[in-house]
Structure 1
Amino acid sequence: MPPPPLITSLPPPHFPFPPPQEAYLPEDPNVRTSKLLVIGHRGCGMNILHSSDSRFKFMKENSILSFNAAAKFPVDFIEFDVQVTKDGCPVIFHDCLILTEEKGVIVEKRVTELMLEEFLSYGPQHDPRKVGKPLFRRTVDGGVYEWKVENDAPLCTLQEAFEKVEHSVGFNVELKFDDLLVYEEEQLSQMIQQVLQVVEMNAKGRPIIYSSFIPDAAQLVKKLQSTYPVFFLTNGGSKIYPDIRRNSLEEAINVCMVGGLNGIVAEVTSILRNPAAVDKIRIAGLSLITYGQLNNLPEVVYVQRLLGIEGVIVDLVQEITEAVSSTIPSEQEEGSREQQMDVKARTKPNLSQKRDCFLMNGEQVCSQNISLSSHIDNIIQLYQCK
């Protein structure tokens, strides 16, 4: 079967980030005029099945239910993971392997080796007369947990997301590939173009961002379409890969410059450890978004706003959108330099009012009363990131 045609539409008017030639470099890093984007991670947050925090088991991640729940809050985008089934259908699922139990034994299959019908047979079913296969998940340390959440939902396709999710919210489409496999360009191209076709046919003005951890995939997305911005995902070196392009923020900048990408999505601790990288990224004409569990803490999000980061991907959508609304001035509030500094003084959060907790590396971590004016290294040390 010949590959789908090259998609080369014109950029839409809602391009969510300024083009490189309009990159804003203020004299005072505390004064920003661009909006801080809040992006819901896998909808209303990822599932951590072994967590003692019920918020990470409240709603099925990467589901229509979770996407629409996130859209009820003032989020700009929802982020989700897209893979392509064996019969060419883009589906939304994070893990490369899908697990079930058969006769008391855990059986795992690669998502990309399943036909669509089999993929959708896992978990809750739309038809109440049908019983889906029990769904399990393997943790990084090898533990296996039954995928039980308070509000469960069926698995879904990318097309369903376009059809059933509130249209006002943008989509951050992460193209998911297996880190353990090496992909030929032809193979990548076929899968990517199957995703692009669904987006092209269904976006209808919805803001879209593409992203991927695989350098060749991100660059290929940019090559195959010119409609939407493409970001390169990186953990900034916290884990080392055979492909050196994945192992530092400096390499991430190079990937973007070589491929003409629009920005970087970096793990937040890599930025907090190296805040000077923010200016390097902006000078390169690139936008910067962060992800990671530290983004579930309002004070960490606030610090990133002061650093000039354009967006944050978060799990605790309600908590962070409320914090952003109450502590970060809106575009309407921002005016002259004097007005901006006055707003900043009025809205600086009183961090002693709340003690928030989240799970990091399997351990409960709580925020404490800190001063945002202190050196950023103190914040990293406080949250056990060193």
Structure 2
Amino acid sequence: YLRILLPSEVIAVVGSCETLGSWCPQKAVPLQQSEDDGTIWKKTITVPAGVETKYRYFTGFFLESKNAGGPCQVIVNKWETHQLPRSLNTSLNICYLADGIECVDSGWLTFQTEIRLRLHYSVKPPVSITKMKFKKSRFRLKLMLEGIEEEDDEESPSSFHKMTTTLEISMISDGGYKSRHSQPECGYALEPTQWTEYSIHTMDPDNLELIFEFFEEDLSEKVVQGDVHPGHVGTACLLSSSFVESGKDNGIVTLPIMSRNSRQTIGKVRVDYLVIRPIQGFQCDMQQSFSKHWRKRRPLDVGHRGAGSTHAAKHHKIRENTIASFLSAASHGAAYVEFDVHLSKDFVPIVYHDLTCCISTKKKNDKHSMELFEVPVKDLTFDQLQLLKHICTLIAVNNVLLQIFQAVPEHVGFNIELKWISQMKDGSWDANLSTYFNMNQFLDVILTCVLQNAGKRRIIFSCFDPDVCAMVRRKQNKYPVLFLTQGVSDIYPQLMDIRCQTTQIAMSFAQSEDILGISAHAEDLLRNMDSITVAQSKGLVVFCWGDDNNDHENRRRLREQGINGLIYDRYSLFNQAFCSLVRILFCVTVCRSHSDNIKGYAFSLNFLTHIQFPPRFFRTIQCLMRNTFHIIINKAMGFPVLFLQIVLILSLSSLSQLFKPLWL
């Protein structure tokens, strides 16, 4: 439920009518706290008569604009996200919550900025001590926030009521996660297997002084005689303005640790930072959110890169990550199609798997010889990509994200993998790319395209980079996020980031970031099937990817274990085989039933050879067949006759709408 936790925070209401802002948080109506006991918030408004008004409550800040006369800046801290919003029926004079289920979720970044400082052992210990006295010491750290006052702060006419700058501490490990809004007097200890993260929400991201206080682990001995803080050995200071000066929203800074009682340095601390900014040029509304919504259902089938990866199967007629591939998977019953999205040099969102492509050029002195050069996709404009022989059929028209939204039917969900570079444990990088786009700019372009064109389509975002997952969760309020993880693998090299190294710590990360769940590697899940149950007991949705999913027996085991979604190749081939089985069995039964009527058999064979099952019908029958196939085999020509006659009747496209409620 909604509670007021911070100074100047208020309760507000936003809704479907113009008076309530038409779902726009910037036009929402703040309520006034009663003067009696302060537990009642109220406001008198006028709404249209005879029309049912939908609305939601939220808590947040209403800040005056920095510019005189400018619009109010609204910060959403918590808001109601139940699928059916509250309703106000003026004709019946009642207010109600449609299904009685109340859900509250955290807000997203509207005008504020989030700064994250991380201390971890992914590459090496974050604290390095040079002073011999502390060489063998273990340290506890505490982060202090200070605002840098400017001379004209109080006198400027553009000064505005500031949002309270908040600090949250998260500690993530294989064993779980902890989240705190306060710190012990002497801070928290650093652990080799733990990811420690400080998250700061502020309206003034370029004007903060961030001070790390260092304490010895053994607090019984006073380092400085008479010190009020036993064990306090030093301080390291970081100015947030340095992020702006560097021009990077993520990176690593090394700070000197200054001794408490002298001007000497006793060591240095390595701080990993990330700056998350609101989407530029787009505002999310509050009409509906699926960020944490997942309805219980049978496992979803997701077509990997559409109908499947074709790099290893050159004979495959339909190329991966194309509209034809997505349509093929959808026509054979895939609930979702999965594909990779990244940007060209001129910031056009494209659907393409690899981070690099090959350019063939003729040698200067030999017209008949060709030479191949591997070039990062990010270094080529969209027009240049269209000219490449290798991928012109992949990127020309068919692989622009916008046109895929327009060409693929809306009932087909999109599992959009956001392509980002990863660093291996040995220090190498994906495709030898150690630098990439500005993460905020990269995501703003792709998220804006999706939010503007998705309509009613189901969308799931996923990425192997945990920072990208965190950013997507904080930048928008509508679609869910899955953290892609390979876990412990014999196939792929171990990643540098400790949050990526095991399925267990991936679960802890997903919980810490409050995202929908994880998309784990089949190799790791098949090795430890209990991971699925453990993750789901923590409120996480679990998808599964990898070549092992292409094996029918593996998919059966994962389904029995309760997996939420399966991403695999050759979706059309697997289901064409199933479809052929249905047709053959039916033809046999019809032939048996009409042994004296050759025309009946011929009609049945011709009809079932050309019929194309509607996707909704197909998925429903497929589920039924899994449960009854053993009966068909054992009973031979008994039960199957009746069952397959039902199959024919229900396959008529005019009746396919009967199954719509079963999958929505």
Q: TM-score, normalised by structure 1?
A: 0.69
Does the CA-based 8 Å contact 1:7-1:196 persist in structure 2?
Answer: no
Aligned-partner residue type, residue 106 of structure 1: L
Partner in structure 2 of residue 316 of structure 1 = 570
Secondary structure in 2 matching 1:120: helix
Aligned-partner residue type, residue 371 of structure 2: V
Q: 2:575 and 2:537 mapped to 1: Cα distance? A: 28
Q: Give the total of aligned pairs.
A: 301
Instruction: Report how far residue 7 of structure 1 moved.
Output: 4.6
Partner in structure 2 of residue 270 of structure 1 = 524
Secondary structure in 2 matching 1:43: coil
Instruction: Report how far residue 172 of structure 1 moved.
Output: 0.6
**Aligned partner (choices 501, 508, 533) of residue 254 of structure 1:** 508
Q: TM-score, normalised by structure 2?
A: 0.42
- In the alignment, does 2:473 pair up with 1:222? yes
Aligned-partner residue type, residue 37 of structure 1: L
Instruction: Report how far residue 121 of structure 1 moved.
Output: 2.2
RMSD: 3.4
Q: How does 1:152-167 map to 2 (within 5 A)?
A: 154=396, 156-167=399-410
**Aligned partner (choices 387, 390, 395) of residue 134 of structure 1:** 390
Partner in structure 1 of residue 359 of structure 2 = 100
Aligned-partner residue type, residue 235 of structure 1: Q
Partner in structure 2 of residue 79 of structure 1 = 338
Partner in structure 2 of residue 346 of structure 1 = 628
Q: Deviations over 1:116-173 (max 9, x none)?
A: 1112222xxxxxxxxxx235xxxxxxxxxxx9xxx97845111011011122201111
- In the alignment, does 2:458 pair up with 1:204? no
Change in 2 beyond 3 A, CA 1:212/1:152: closer
Does the CA-based 8 Å contact 2:291-2:516 persist in structure 1?
Answer: no
Secondary structure in 1 matching 2:359: strand
Secondary structure in 1 matching 2:474: helix
Secondary structure in 1 matching 2:543: strand
Q: How does 1:296-307 map to 2 (within 5 A)?
A: 296-307=550-561
Partner in structure 2 of residue 48 of structure 1 = 311
Aligned-partner residue type, residue 346 of structure 1: T
Instruction: Report how far residue 236 of structure 1 moved.
Output: 1.3
Does the CA-based 8 Å contact 1:85-1:116 persist in structure 2?
Answer: yes
Change in 2 beyond 3 A, CA 1:134/1:278: closer
Which one has a larger percent strand, Structure 1 or Structure 2? Answer: 2
Partner in structure 2 of residue 287 of structure 1 = 541
Q: 2:356 and 2:621 mapped to 1: Cα distance? A: 46
Does the CA-based 8 Å contact 1:245-1:251 persist in structure 2?
Answer: yes
- In the alignment, does 2:304 pair up with 1:36? no
Q: How does 1:186-201 map to 2 (within 5 A)?
A: 187-201=438-452
Aligned-partner residue type, residue 79 of structure 1: E
Secondary structure in 2 matching 1:279: helix
Q: Which runs of 5+ in 1 are unaligned?
A: 23-32, 123-132, 136-146, 335-339, 352-386
Q: Which runs of 5+ in 2 are unaligned?
A: 1-276, 363-369, 423-428, 583-617, 634-664
- In the alignment, does 2:331 pair up with 1:68? no
Partner in structure 1 of residue 168 of structure 2 = none
Instruction: Report how far residue 191 of structure 1 moved.
Output: 0.5
Instruction: Report how far residue 321 of structure 1 moved.
Output: 4.1
Partner in structure 2 of residue 118 of structure 1 = 384
Q: 1:67 and 1:212 mapped to 2: Cα distance? A: 20
Partner in structure 2 of residue 8 of structure 1 = 284
Q: 2:444 and 2:334 mapped to 1: Cα distance? A: 28
Partner in structure 2 of residue 173 of structure 1 = 416
Instruction: Report how far residue 349 of structure 1 moved.
Output: 9.7
Tell me which structure has the larger Cα radius of gyration.
2
Aligned-partner residue type, residue 390 of structure 2: P
Q: Deviations over 1:208-266 (max 9, x none)?
A: 00000000001110110110110000111213111111111011112211211101111
Secondary structure in 2 matching 1:65: helix
Does the CA-based 8 Å contact 2:358-2:374 persist in structure 1?
Answer: yes
Q: 1:41 and 1:11 mapped to 2: Cα distance? A: 31
Instruction: Report how far residue 62 of structure 1 moved.
Output: 0.8
**Aligned partner (choices 453, 465, 486) of residue 235 of structure 1:** 486
Q: 2:619 and 2:319 mapped to 1: Cα distance? A: 31
Does the CA-based 8 Å contact 1:171-1:206 persist in structure 2?
Answer: yes
Percent identical among aligned pairs is: 28
Secondary structure in 1 matching 2:508: helix
Q: 2:538 and 2:504 mapped to 1: Cα distance? A: 11
Q: 2:329 and 2:442 mapped to 1: Cα distance? A: 28
Q: 1:330 and 1:349 mapped to 2: Cα distance? A: 19
